Amino acid sequence: MPARILDGKALAGAIEESLCDEVAAFTTAAGRAPRLVVVLVGEIAASASYVAAKARAAARVGIDADVVRVAGSADTAALVALVSEIARGSHGPVDGILVQLPLPRHVDTLAVLDAVPADRDVDGFHPENAGLLSQGRPRFIPCTAAGVQRLLVDAGIATAGRRAVIVGRSDIVGKPLALLLSARGPGGDATVTICHSHTTDLAEHCRTADILVAAVGRPGLITAEMVKPGATVIDVGINRVETPTGSRLVGDVDFPAVAAVAGAITPVPGGVGPLTVAMLLANTLLAAELRIGRR
Ligand code: GUN
C-alpha cells in the first residue's frame, strides 16, 4: 500500500486560521498588532524567497512584519550593532526578531544570533531558550522542530516508546527535535538516535526507525533500502536541483521509492516547510503576549 501523505500545507493553513483569531484578540487588547522584524543579509535567492513567504504568512494572520535587507558585505560588528538597535526599537516596536540563516561565510553567526534578546528570540536559537528546551520547560521552540512534532501529533502518529532516528545534528533542527521527541508528554517519550556525517552504518540505524527524520540538505540521501516497511518518514530537506525541464525542489528523501515502503511520508514541497512558517507566527504571537503579560 502506498504511504499516507502527511499534508503540512493543509495543517499550516488550519494553524494560521486559529492564529487569526488569537492575533485579533491580542491586537484588540494591546492596541497594536504583534510585530516581527526579519533581517535578511546578502543576495541568496532561497533565503529571499523564504523571508518573503514568512512576511506574506504574517500578513495573512494580522502580524506586522518588517524585512530589513542588509548588503552581503556587512561584517559581524555591523550586524551585531544592527540587531541590537532593532531590539532597542530603531525599526519600530518589536516583539520578535529573526535573522535569516545562513549568513555570509565571513560573519560570526553565533555572535549575531546572540545579539537577539532571549525574549524576542522567535527562532528559539538563544542559549537561554535552548537551555529551557533542554530542561523540558520550553519557551520559544525552534520552528522547524516544533513543526515536525506538531505534524506527528496532528497525524496521530504515536511517538511514546517508538524509535525515532534523526539524520542531522544541527542546532536548528536535529538537536531541538531530538529534545522534543525524547521529552516527557504528548509528541514525546520516544527513544531517539541522532545520526550525522561521522555515523557508521547510517542505513542500519535508519532501518531501526519507526519515525525517520532527514534534516541534512542532501538530495536522495534516504533511499528505500534504509526505511523499515510502514515507518513514518519526515523530510526536512529543501534542495533545488536542476533537471532537463528546469529546476525543482526536492527533499533529502528519494520520495517515489520511499513512498512505496513507508507508512506515512511528508512531501517536498508542501510538507514540513509550511509548518516552519506557521510555528514562527505562533512564536511571534507568544513573544507579543509575554511582553504585555497576557501569557
Ligand atoms: N534558515 C533555514 N531555516 C531557518 C530557520 O528556521 N530560521 C532562520 N533564522 N533561518 C533559517
pLDDT digits (tens, 9 = 90+) for 200-239: 999 999 999 999 999 999 999 999 999 999 999 999 999 9
The CA distances from residue 130 to 45, 84, 110, 126, in Å, are 29, 20, 13, 6
Q: Tell whether ligand 1 has an atom less than 6 A from the beta carbon of residue 143.
A: yes
Per-residue pLDDT at 295 = 87
DSSP string covering 67-132: EEEE-TT--HHHHHHHHHHHHTTTTS--SEEEE-SPPPTTS-HHHHHHTS-GGGBTT--SHHHHHH
Which stretches in the chain have pLDDT values below 50? none
Cell (9 digits) for 264: 506515512
Query: CB atoms < 10 A from the CB of 229, how many?
Result: 10
Helix spans in 115-268 (H) = 127-134, 143-154, 174-182, 202-207, 255-259
Whether residue 150 contacts residue 138, with contact meaning beta carbons closer than 8 Å, is answered with: no
CA distance 6 to 148: 11
CA 143–ligand 1 middle distance (angstroms): 8
CA distance 189 to 207: 20
Tens digits of residue pLDDT in 76-99? 999 999 999 999 999 999 999 999
Catalytic residue flag (residue 175):
no
Per-residue pLDDT at 55 = 98
Closest CA to 190 of 157, 164, 154: 164
CA distance 267 to 151: 12
Whether residue 237 contacts residue 252, with contact meaning beta carbons closer than 8 Å, is answered with: yes
CA distance 295 to 284: 13
Residue type, 124: G
Index of the ligand 1 atom closest to the CA of residue 102: 1
List, in order, residues 6 or more apart from 49 with CB less than 8 Å away: none
Catalytic residue flag (residue 100):
yes
Per-residue pLDDT at 1 = 79
Whether residue 96 contacts residue 37, with contact meaning beta carbons closer than 8 Å, is answered with: yes
Cell (9 digits) for 233: 518518514
Structural domains in the chain, CATH included, are 31-117 (3.40.50.10860), 143-273 (3.40.50.720)
Residue 264 half-sphere exposure toward CB, CA atoms < 13 A = 18
Catalytic residue flag (residue 201):
no
Q: Which of 123, 126, 170, 238 to mutate to test the pocket of ligand 1 (most atoms within 8 A of CB)?
A: 123
Cell (9 digits) for 255: 520520495
Closest CA to 230 of 143, 142, 144, 162: 162
The one-character DSSP state at 261 is: T
Closest CA to 140 of 150, 148, 131, 149: 131
Q: Tell whether ligand 1 has an atom less than 6 A from the beta carbon of residue 123.
A: yes
CA 260–ligand 1 middle distance (angstroms): 31
